Amino acid sequence: MKRVLRNEMKTKLAQMTDKEFQQKTNAIHEAFFSSKQWKDASVIALTISRKPEVATKPIIERAWKEGKTVCIPKCLPETKDMHFRRFQDESELEVVYFGLQEPIVHKTELLAPDDIDFILVPGICFDPRGYRIGYGGGYYDRYLAGFTKETASLAFHCQIIDKVPHEAHDIPVSQIFTEKTTLICP
């Protein structure tokens, strides 16, 4: 079921025009930048997005301008673990599996979960309760199981569906910022 929903959403997102993508991304960024979570966070964790995901590079650049610390995930496929490392410059990145950009371990500093104020959690589908379908690795659910601070996701409104199938180990996000609304998840 999750695989079917994931594929259907990828098809739907691929149909978005570049202009529509940019307009909706700008509206999502505006909502996020005016949020209490953004304003209060000094250390923010997020991925380096790839289209058709909501762009995160503008968020990273603004965070740096505002003196915030940015950290990005490093996935360890052998153990299925993930940790976050401080990201300060493009030269600290390497391209790994599926073309994802991740931090180079010997060039970046490891941050403990307690050091992070806020995590933007990626996903392909979301429901109003904050459950999500990610990209299939389960890395975020494992990491979030031990994370006690704020979480949110950025999504196009079309990525919100009535109900995401979830299991006991799935961890919902607290909020979802879309171009139309900000969902506060129960």
Q: Give the pLDDT score at 51.
A: 83
Q: What is the pLDDT of residue 135?
A: 79
pLDDT score of 184: 95
67 vs 43: CA distance, rounded Å = 9
Range of the domain at 150: 2-10+28-68+113-184
Which position has the token pair 């940019």? 22
Number of domains within the chain: 1
Domain CATH code at residue 126 = 3.40.50.10420
Give pLDDT, residue 102.
Answer: 92
Is 157 inside a domain boundary?
yes
**Considering the domain boundaries, does residue 88 fall inside one?**
no
Which of these, 63, 66, 62, 72, lies nearest to 93 by C-alpha position? 72
Q: What's the pLDDT score for residue 100?
A: 82
pTM of the model: 0.93
Residue 22 within a domain: no
Asked whether residue 97 is domain-assigned, the answer is no
Let me know if residue 99 belongs to a domain.
no
Residue 126 lies in a domain: yes
**DSSP codes of every residue in the chain:** -HHHHHHHHHHHHHTS-HHHHHHHHHHHHHHHHTSHHHHH-SEEE-----TTSPP-HHHHHHHHHTT-EEEEEEEETTTTEEEEEE---GGGEEE-GGG-EEE-GGGS-EE-GGG-SEEEPP-SEE-TTS-EE-SSS-HHHHHHTT--SEEEEE--GGGB-S-----TT----SEEE-SS-EEE--
What are the pLDDT tens digits along the chain (186 aa)?
Answer: 888 898 899 999 999 999 999 999 999 999 999 999 999 999 999 999 988 899 999 999 999 999 999 999 999 888 889 999 999 999 999 988 777 889 999 999 999 999 999 999 999 999 999 999 987 788 999 999 989 999 999 999 999 999 999 888 889 999 999 999 999 997
**Within a domain: 103:** no
Q: Does any domain span residue 82?
A: no
